[in-house]
Copies of this chain bind each other. A is one copy, B any other.
Amino acid sequence: MNKTHTYSYARPALTVDCVVFGYEEEALKVLLIQRNIEPFKGGWALPGGFVRVEETLEEAAIRELKEETAVENIYLEQLYSFGALQRDPRERVVTVAYYALVKLSEHKAQGGTDAADARWFPLEALPKLAFDHKQIIEVAFKRLQAKVRYEPVGFELLPKRFLFSAIEHLYETILQRKIDRRNFRKKMLSMGIIKQLEEQEENVAHRKGHYYSFDKKEYEKMIKKGFSFEI
């Protein structure tokens, strides 16, 4: 397929880029790929690529994620579109950025078919990034900080069953401040959207913690009744 495409006016190229967040060892991580083509060959960048004319923006984001990082079935939401003139040194490129949340514990697989390498980096220790991707990650992180307070998206970063302390630490990590354990537990449990499971921690050198899970069904039922999540 060597067909070329001709238009009466110059068109900016259109791409999607994805900021994929994961949570592991009480740290927020971002999935990056090592570029195997110029520009910034060998450098780290957000997974992403050109939008095809026969796919929607979201479809493009999902496809690129799958091709480059083998990540699938995750929380995905549009973030912002970036259109600075010199954000790509080759030519004018506008990118629609998405951010995604993955249950890292259930997505160990890394590196898709296209990228040289895909790796998780702590948000606190990112490598030098290609294009304006550092700025995009900053915007994504701010969005995550805001979102986590009024929508239960934090659970997208945790395994299906988790210790209560895991949500607590997750919130401390994302909001970057200490949280009062008693008040947090009181508030979170009072909303009635997470349920305690039978199972408990095993083989720990301290009192066993209960496992919990997010009750998405119940949450959606409550939303319909006018409930609004808030932390």
The reply to whether A11 and B14 form a contact with Cβ atoms under 8 Å apart is yes
The reply to whether B10 and A53 form a contact with Cβ atoms under 8 Å apart is yes
A10 surroundings in chain B (CB, below 8 A) = 5, 52-53
- A85-B94 Cα distance, complex, nearest whole Å: 18
- Determine, out of A23-31, A76-84, A161-169, A195-203, the stretch whose residues face the partner at the interface: A76-84
A124 surroundings in chain B (CB, below 8 A) = none
**Contact string against B for A residues 87-104, beta-carbon threshold 8 Å, 1 for contact and 0 otherwise:** 000011010100000000
Interface of A is mostly: loop
New contact pairs (19) apart from A5-B6, A11-B53, A54-B85, CB-CB < 8 Å: A4-B8, A5-B8, A7-B11, A7-B13, A9-B50, A9-B52, A10-B52, A10-B53, A11-B13, A12-B51, A12-B53, A14-B14, A51-B83, A51-B94, A57-B81, A57-B94, A78-B80, A78-B81, A94-B96
